Amino acid sequence: MAFRYYSAERIRDKMPTYKGTDEELQDAIDDISLLYGSALKELDTKLDIISDDFDKKHSYMPIHHVQKRLKSFDSLIDKAERYGIEDPINNLDTVLAEVLDIGGIRVICNYEEDIYTMSGLLLEQSDIELIRIKDYCKNPKESGYRSLHVVVAIPVYLVNRKAMVPLEIQFRSIAMDTWASLEHELRYKNKGVLNEEIQDQLAECARQLAQIDEKMSHIRHQVLKSDNEYADY
Ligand code: 0O2
């Protein structure tokens, strides 16, 4: 997995203030891409293993699907500027220390309760460091957005060093992901701006989907109780 819009030459066009050579810039970009891409692979594998073992023990897979992405180099620099980092292209170490979602992974679970099961199992692992948690499931954003955001650092072993690489994990139920994907698409189509009436309607959809999440979970527990095969779960 590599940065989109990857070439130093192209970035140099957009960011002519870079003080090093094109080769140095390319090398720095390659390093970031390798490190964060590798961290995403590690985390993906960890989630896969937990999911397989959970299935073996409980005949149930809580994870519906997983999506990974590396932030584009352009949006990394834009975000660093928004964070107030001065001259980010020439201070990449500061950028890497401050921007924690260069590598992002979205874990779409079936039910809301699966979010806490999966995040709990992952955070129990001794080589993972928790950096921060924001629970937008329990405290949704004003927009209606719900998701559990967990920032962790995960070890990546390179040829001659070990690096702890921060990643942002967004745990969502299918319903939460449906809303966030469609809302993002609508917002993106409208250049990031949605009028108040549309925002209200979207917030109402988010509330209804939260109720559906709760109802589906309730139905699930009724089914589990009546089904001997799942009695141990
Ligand atoms: P992308 O491409 O999705 O990564 P910061 O990350 O510094 O902006 P903070 O407080 O850490 O600030 O961010 P927050 O709000 O905890 O999480 C930001 C990410 O959550 C966003 O990433 C979205 O993925 C998602 N998100 C947050 N609010 C909403 C929302 O109202 N609607 C939708 N659809 N997604 C939301 P980015 O950076 O926007 O981009």
Token digits for 184? 């993002």
* In a domain? residue 120: yes
Indicate if ligand 1 lies below 6 Å from the C-beta of 184.
Answer: yes
Here the tokens at position 60 are 């149930």
Would the pLDDT of 230 be above 60? no
Residue 143 near ligand 1, beta carbon < 6 Å: yes
Query: What spacing in Å lies between the alpha carbon of 54 and ligand 1's midpoint?
Result: 29
Read off the pLDDT of residues 114-171 as tens digits, 9 standing for 90 and up: 999 999 999 999 999 999 999 999 999 999 999 999 999 999 999 999 999 999 999 9
- Amino acid type, 224: L
Spatial separation of the C-alpha atoms in residues 76 and 55, rounded to whole Å: 37
Q: Which two tokens stand for residue 65?
A: 């699907």
Q: Is 134 near ligand 1, meaning CB less than 6 Å away?
A: yes
Residue 147 CA to ligand 1 center (angstroms) comes to 10
Region class of 87: left (phi > 0), else alpha (psi between -120 and 50), else beta: left
Q: Does 106 contact ligand 1 (Cβ within 6 A)? A: no
Range name among 14-28, 47-61, 80-94, 217-231 with the lowest pLDDT average: 217-231
The pTM of the full predicted model, rounded to 2 decimals, is 0.92
CB proximity list for 51: less than 8 A, separation 6 or greater: 61, 62, 63, 118
Using the predicted structure, report yes or no on whether residue 173 has a pLDDT greater than 60.
yes
What is the CA(13)–ligand 1 centre distance, in A? 28
Number of structural domains (the chain) is: 1
Q: Is residue 195 part of a domain?
A: no
Distance from Cα 101 to the centre of ligand 1, integer Å = 10
What's the pLDDT score for residue 189? 79
Q: Could you list the residue range(s) of the whole structural domain that residue 45 is in?
A: 8-175
In a domain, 230, yes or no: no
Question: Quick one: 123 exposed, middle or buried, by C-beta within 10 A (0-12, 13-18, 19+)?
Answer: middle
Residue 113 has pLDDT above 90, yes or no: yes
Three-point CA angle 199, 150, 44, nearest 5°? 110
CA 210 – ligand 1 centroid, Å: 19
Does the residue 212 lie in any domain?
Answer: no
* Residue 193 pLDDT level (bands cut at 50, 70, 90): confident
By CB atoms closer than 10 A (0-12, 13-18, 19+), residue 229 is exposed
What residues have CB less than 8 Å from 198, skipping those under 6 apart?
186
Would you state the pLDDT for residue 80? Answer: 96
pLDDT, tens digit (0-9, with 9 covering 90-100), for 14-62? 677 889 888 888 889 889 999 999 999 999 999 999 999 999 999 999 9
Question: Ligand 1, residues 76, 171, 184: which to mutate, most atoms within 8 A of Cβ?
Answer: 184
Answer yes or no: is 200 within a domain: no
Q: Where are the alpha helices (DSSP H) in the chain?
A: 8-14, 22-58, 73-82, 92-98, 112-123, 174-189, 196-226
The pLDDT assigned to 2 comes to: 56
> What is the pLDDT, as a whole number, of residue 191?
77
- Ligand 1, atom 8: closest residue by C-alpha: 79
Is 227's pLDDT higher than 70?
no
pLDDT of residue 1: 59
Is the distance from CB of 65 to CB of 96 less than 8 angstroms?
no
* Nearest atom (ligand 1) to Cα of 144: 31
Q: What is the mean pLDDT of residues 171-194?
A: 92
pLDDT given for residue 190 in this prediction = 79
CA distance 199 to 187: 10
187: in domain: no
Q: What is the mean pLDDT of residues 195-216?
A: 96
Contacts 24+ apart (CB under 8 A), 91-96: 92/28, 92/32, 96/32
Nearest CA to ligand 1 atom 39: 184
Strands 103-109 and 148-157 come out as unpaired
Please report, in angstroms and rounded to a whole number, the separation of the first and last CA atoms in the chain: 37
- The yes-or-no verdict on residue 228 having pLDDT over 90 is no
Q: With contact defined as beta carbons under 8 Å apart, do 149 and 170 qualify?
A: yes
- Atom 37 (ligand 1): residue with closest C-alpha? 101
- Say if ligand 1 is within 6 A of residue 145 CB: yes
Tell whether ligand 1 has an atom less than 6 A from the beta carbon of residue 81.
no
Q: What is the mean pLDDT of the chain?
A: 92
Asked if residue 211 belongs to a domain, the reply is no
Domain containing residue 46: CATH number: 3.30.460.10
